[in-house]
Structure 1
């Protein structure tokens, strides 16, 4: 019995040796944000913002729901694939122990925003402040495994993705007519306030050791099936939500440029999700989609009302639809987005794309 324990320990330490920082192993990956990048944390919470029932996951390798708001893989999965790593586990997953910690962790939680009052209708979700606390907790857990110095090195060399902002409009400012925030702020002033709060979040990430951070702006908020169903008369994108995205995203890029200048290094990289998604929204056929207006799964106009459930309309071929449900892209659309993250010009990735980041970081290690 004692011999088998020793053998298991030797196997485990050998496994650690192959993936500790400084080797050629895939870099760690950390994910923060909302439902666009949640890998299943909300499965462990008492909340209505969850995707743990069919037909979610219908095209996932297991063909079962995982908590991802997708028919299959989501953006973090596909980025993990691109950097040669396995998908990160949700931070709340009981499986995230031992050497699995070395892969990184996904802290994202559907429904959250930049502001703490965003998504309050979902009750129990992991707000961004708590996600950052969990990141600190993660580092303490990893330190007991590989030591403080190696932990700091792993975090510094890791890739980080943060996706926030959409819910601050959809599930806050525009959630109901005359919402508390819309009475408090005009739209331009609200955007300035959001950007100022986001700035604090990014500096906090930097303070916690993040050195390569992809920061996703909002998508074309007025063009998702949910907003078409509620606000569109003939299928055109909802003007006011498009205006919100048009105000927010340029200011986000400007803020990122300012932070990088202040720090003296290109720590933060802006992911222009509006431009990426408008390509297939404006010309779905060019990308192999039959529609960018109707969701694959849902009900009501454009399949944009309510949740995607077993009672919903469900398209037989998800690859023909740009949107999986009322808000979230299909796996195929996510693949198009990640291709731009990897190789896109400065129109999509500013100041550089992920392939360039990987090349620079690989060179700097040699």
Structure 2
């Protein structure tokens, strides 16, 4: 039976995730030669497994529906990035930077780290993590490795790759809305969104300078509607409006940043992915029946208890633990990001058109 969190005296929680070397079942030609993934626990594929942090989940019941079991993904099965990898037609799932070999780097690298944020201080309450700035540094290490094989054609190779970035949730969950943090006293929600976007803008330009030409930026999801946020900040079992309002301010500025980047970086294309879509609509139409509680029994930091029993009807749950979506939810988000069948799914178009 799913459980919810009780409010601790001074602790807030993470958005995490895990990875594997198993091959997806793909029968289409790859639309790109490589895929580079930056972000937090939503797409982390094992980079946190060896770090000193509470933001790691390389134990069951995580991975209960993944062929390789608990690899570090913070869900029951595939992450959002795994499903996008399949939709791209790539042969193998993208390996985490922590363990990727030089040959595997040719197909791309996953740099994502649970509890990381746009700013380095985000998520530090949970222990060691790889923030976005360090992820960008790790990408330079990858480029140096690729150059040994590709020589002068390295830039041409990178220009063809897909780059996705999904980060910023921990700047709110594990910084701005952290009970013990002074950040919220320094900035109003609108000011903080501006601070984050200023940082983010410089970081994306750094990624462009390193060779990225096809970039998809994921907006923040409905973090005010997670089981954790509902318990700690919601009223009458509803989403936390203060968090939802702050997320909308950030996403609005991020969408404007996409316009600015496309105007300035004329040799590239940058798109915005609306990650709020599913929970903003009517999830029951998609087959979900449980919206505000987790599929697994959670501990005091909102993660599944080790070796605990998960719910059998996982396709009916939106949330796996107190923060992270189930594979069923990840599939819907990935499909919308990739195909953008509805104009509100992505701006100015979806990933499939970006890589076409």
TM-score, normalised on structure 1?
0.85
Distance 1:343 1:329 in 2: 20
Cross-structure match for 2:315: 319
Distance 2:235 2:48 in 1: 34
Distance change (3 Å), C-alpha of 1:312 and 1:231: farther
TM-score, normalised on structure 2?
0.87
Distance change (3 Å), C-alpha of 1:24 and 1:84: closer
**Aligned positions of 1:123-202 closer than 5 A:** 123-147=127-151, 149-176=152-179, 179-202=181-204
Distance 1:146 1:288 in 2: 47
**How far off its partner does 1:265 sit?**
4.9
In structure 1, runs of 5+ residues without a counterpart are: 1-22, 360-366
Secondary structure of 1:346's counterpart equals coil
Among 329, 335, 338, the alignment partner of 1:339 is 335
- Is 1:355–2:344 an aligned residue pair? no
Among 56, 64, 70, the alignment partner of 1:65 is 70
Cross-structure match for 1:108: 112
Among 306, 309, 313, the alignment partner of 1:310 is 306
> Contact 2:39/2:132 (CA < 8 Å) preserved in 1?
yes
**How far off its partner does 1:333 sit?**
0.4
- Is 1:225–2:227 an aligned residue pair? yes
Greater CA radius of gyration, 1 or 2? 1
Cross-structure match for 2:14: none
> Contact 1:27/1:83 (CA < 8 Å) preserved in 2?
no
> Contact 1:54/1:310 (CA < 8 Å) preserved in 2?
yes
Runs of 4+ in structure 1 off by over 3 angstroms are 23-26, 310-313
> Contact 2:271/2:346 (CA < 8 Å) preserved in 1?
yes
Cross-structure match for 2:3: none
Secondary structure of 2:37's counterpart equals strand
Total equivalences in the alignment:
326
In structure 2, runs of 5+ residues without a counterpart are: 1-28
Deviations, residues 134-180 of structure 1 (Å, cap 9, x unaligned): 10010101111222x22211211100111111111111000115x21
Q: Which has the higher contact order (CA 8 A, sep 6+)?
A: 2
Cα RMSD of the aligned pairs, angstroms, is 1.8
Secondary structure of 1:90's counterpart equals coil
The structure with the greater share of residues assigned to helix is 1
